[in-house]
Chain A
């Protein structure tokens, strides 16, 4: 068992709607090892996205500790957290969230604008990332000129271009057909196996979860079952 790259201890998340307090996450502990590809499953509303957002530093827990890459991130200011995310997390969303006015390569370059890399270095990283996702020939295309699967590949290239500690994917294949989904999942698997990327992926799809190394099931804000894929 390698060292834990993500560890949560006693993490809860509540929302207050009027006087009503909604407990979205019950106190939970979680540990993800370096090099894991974790599939987070569970019914709708069980808190998967909420948990993923805490791991990715998009949101703060109501209580508990969140450690990622040896750093506590649950106490950081939003400014520090933004900076932290730019170094440590790559995000992949269900609807790709590419910027419509930018070409594929400009979209991929975005996280690098937050680094001190020169223009030439950025171009090199962008080319490599597009190469990895198999879209080197689509660099100049706008998102509207790409298929769903291609758009998601661009989004994955964007997520990995700055070489983050962690890839965080919320239903990355939720908007794709079976065949395209399998290609994307295959790509994520390759990133995990050959490039050693630690990936946390939320999915509804049991077939998608089979690509992961581990599965985790949630229900009503609690982790209920953890298993390793064989």
Chain B
């Protein structure tokens, strides 16, 4: 007795070879599922790109210090005395000049129009110092020069410069209290800071009439030193401040938007998936019906029900997988690397990021496609196997 496997293989091969004669209806499955997977992967790649952009920001051996209870840089205030406590804390690395490598920064929002638009959008203005490139070595001036301390000069992140109008070298931007001049552009490897503009912290304090920082970012002697650093600060009775590793802080910044896009992505995938499922069911019921005599003939010859069921499911799976791969490929071709900027719900500022169609998203898409194909083939195949042979033969 030959194995059932051989039966499955031969019946499936037969079914699949007959697909060309049923191209129209088979395409319903392929195209339907390609649509579902394409849209789902595109949406999830948006969430993924946003997440990766934020996750790529910061390093584990750097800490961001905010006032206790603040959720983000915008709502945190640290007066100069508090900032000094941070600078004096143990485990803060020393810079080239021998001083603690930590910078008290201002974090503000200003309005700049996007390219091709007239309505203003929020851009983060970070007041920092010229030591920022020592603190954040991932950032580099790529055009023009760094701002001069004390002057109303701006260096724009490359993403910000691309997304917004009027951030080219020589342009004037109303950061606070009149025009500031753009003197340079910096690159920070596509992280969140690239969507910001940087100015001198003292000049910004003067222009905005503020005397306190928002945050301090500190370079620690090592990533392991963080716990000791944090404990020292939280146990210091002079200050109520909190310290977070940078990657943790930035990951938490992407949560809300990520959840929104992911929920949207899956909702759309489920709704479209149900549509595609009915399309697949319909197609497979029709496929089974048009071949009911052939199937009955095979069963009369002695082929088992198992091979019949499995072969119908496999056919559906093959079509669905083709659809899944097509959809994933389309999402990759059209969306991977596509740059957009969006309002980060947690900082109310624009963040530029790229859609990222990653292998795990493509894999998810194919799994989704296979699930639809599996269910789409299951019920028709059971019907085919349940139909009494003699009834199916009579219908010829």
**Which residues on A are within 8 Å of B, measured CB to CB?**
49, 53, 56, 58-59, 78-79, 82-87, 91, 93-95, 97, 99-102, 110-111, 113-116, 158
Decide: B14 and A97 in contact? CB cutoff 8 A. Answer: no
Tell me how far the C-beta of B395 lies from the nearest C-beta in chain A, rounded to whole angstroms. 11
Q: Which residues of A contact B298 (CB under 8 A)?
A: 99, 110
Q: Which residues of A contact B260 (CB under 8 A)?
A: none
Decide: A116 and B1 in contact? CB cutoff 8 A. Answer: yes
Docked CA distance A59–B297 (Å): 14
Decide: B390 and A59 in contact? CB cutoff 8 A. Answer: yes
Decide: B297 and A86 in contact? CB cutoff 8 A. Answer: no
Write the chain B residue with the least CB distance to A50: B390
Docked CA distance A58–B394 (Å): 12
Interface segment out of the listed B54-62, B68-76, B267-275, B299-307: B299-307
Interface residues of chain B: helix, strand, loop or mixed (majority): helix
Report which of B297, B302, B394 forms a contact with A97, defined as CB distance below 8 A: B297
Q: Which residues of B contact A82 (CB under 8 A)?
A: 299, 302-305
Tell me how far the C-beta of B203 lies from the nearest C-beta in chain A, rounded to whole angstroms. 79
29 A-B contact pairs sorted by A residue (CB < 8 Å):
A49-B390, A58-B389, A59-B389, A79-B304, A82-B302, A83-B1, A83-B302, A83-B304, A85-B300, A85-B301, A86-B301, A86-B303, A87-B302, A91-B297, A93-B297, A93-B396, A94-B396, A99-B298, A100-B18, A100-B294, A101-B18, A110-B301, A111-B301, A113-B2, A113-B6, A114-B301, A114-B303, A115-B2, A158-B301
Report which of A91, A95, A101, A102 forms a contact with B301, defined as CB distance below 8 A: A91
Docked CA distance A70–B396 (Å): 32
4 tightest Cβ-Cβ pairs between the two chains A and B: A86-B302, A97-B297, A101-B18, A101-B17
Chain B, range 29-63, C-beta contacts under 8 Å to A: none
Docked CA distance A53–B18 (Å): 28
Docked CA distance A68–B301 (Å): 16
Docked CA distance A87–B10 (Å): 18
Number of B interface residues at 8 Å Cβ cutoff, please give it: 26
The yes or no answer to B235 lying at the interface (CB within 8 A) is no
The yes or no answer to B7 lying at the interface (CB within 8 A) is yes
Write the chain A residue with the least CB distance to B299: A82
Docked CA distance A49–B304 (Å): 22
Q: Which residues of B contact A83 (CB under 8 A)?
A: 1, 302, 304
Decide: B396 and A95 in contact? CB cutoff 8 A. Answer: yes
Write the chain A residue with the least CB distance to B302: A86
Tell me how far the C-beta of A73 lies from the nearest C-beta in chain B, rounded to whole angstroms. 13
Docked CA distance A66–B365 (Å): 54
Docked CA distance A135–B396 (Å): 25
Q: Which residues of A contact B10 (CB under 8 A)?
A: 110, 113
Write the chain A residue with the least CB distance to B295: A99
Q: Which residues of B contact A78 (CB under 8 A)?
A: 305
Q: Which residues of A contact B393 (CB under 8 A)?
A: 58, 93, 97
**Which residues on B are within 8 Å of A, measured CB to CB?**
1-2, 6-7, 10, 14, 17-18, 21, 293-294, 297-305, 388-390, 393-394, 396
Tell me how far the C-beta of A71 lies from the nearest C-beta in chain B, rounded to whole angstroms. 15
Tell me how far the C-beta of A24 lies from the nearest C-beta in chain B, rounded to whole angstroms. 11
Tell me how far the C-beta of B243 lies from the nearest C-beta in chain A, rounded to whole angstroms. 69
Report which of B7, B299, B388 forms a contact with A59, defined as CB distance below 8 A: B388
Interface contacts beyond A59-B388, A78-B305, A84-B302: sample of 5 additional A-B pairs, CB < 8 Å, sorted by A: A82-B304, A85-B302, A100-B294, A101-B21, A114-B1
Decide: B21 and A58 in contact? CB cutoff 8 A. Answer: no
Tell me how far the C-beta of B385 lies from the nearest C-beta in chain A, rounded to whole angstroms. 10
Decide: A99 and B6 in contact? CB cutoff 8 A. Answer: no
Tell me how far the C-beta of B2 lies from the nearest C-beta in chain A, rounded to whole angstroms. 6
Q: Which residues of A contact B293 (CB under 8 A)?
A: 97
Tell me how far the C-beta of B69 lies from the nearest C-beta in chain A, rounded to whole angstroms. 70
Write the chain A residue with the least CB distance to B9: A113
Write the chain B residue with the least CB distance to A97: B297
Decide: A116 and B304 in contact? CB cutoff 8 A. Answer: no
Report which of B300, B303, B304 forms a contact with A58, defined as CB distance below 8 A: B300
Decide: B294 and A79 in contact? CB cutoff 8 A. Answer: no
Write the chain A residue with the least CB distance to B304: A82
Q: Which residues of B contact A95 (CB under 8 A)?
A: 396
Docked CA distance A116–B2 (Å): 5
Docked CA distance A214–B388 (Å): 30
Tell me how far the C-beta of B386 lies from the nearest C-beta in chain A, rounded to whole angstroms. 10
Docked CA distance A83–B2 (Å): 11
Tell me how far the C-beta of B230 lies from the nearest C-beta in chain A, rounded to whole angstroms. 68
Docked CA distance A169–B21 (Å): 29
Docked CA distance A78–B296 (Å): 13
Decide: A53 and B390 in contact? CB cutoff 8 A. Answer: yes
Q: Which residues of B contact A53 (CB under 8 A)?
A: 390
Write the chain B residue with the least CB distance to A115: B2
Decide: A101 and B300 in contact? CB cutoff 8 A. Answer: no
Report which of B7, B17, B21, B297 forms a contact with A113, defined as CB distance below 8 A: B7
Q: Which residues of B contact A93 (CB under 8 A)?
A: 297, 393, 396
Docked CA distance A49–B393 (Å): 11
Q: Which residues of B contact A111 (CB under 8 A)?
A: 301-302
Q: Which residues of B contact A115 (CB under 8 A)?
A: 1-2
Q: Which residues of B contact A85 (CB under 8 A)?
A: 300-302
Q: Which residues of B contact A58 (CB under 8 A)?
A: 300, 389-390, 393
Q: Which residues of A contact B304 (CB under 8 A)?
A: 79, 82-83
Q: Which residues of A contact B396 (CB under 8 A)?
A: 93-95, 97
Q: Which residues of B contact A113 (CB under 8 A)?
A: 2, 6-7, 10
Docked CA distance A97–B295 (Å): 10
Q: Which residues of A contact B17 (CB under 8 A)?
A: 101-102
Tell me how far the C-beta of A201 lies from the nearest C-beta in chain B, rounded to whole angstroms. 16
Tell me how far the C-beta of B137 lies from the nearest C-beta in chain A, rounded to whole angstroms. 65
Docked CA distance A83–B305 (Å): 11
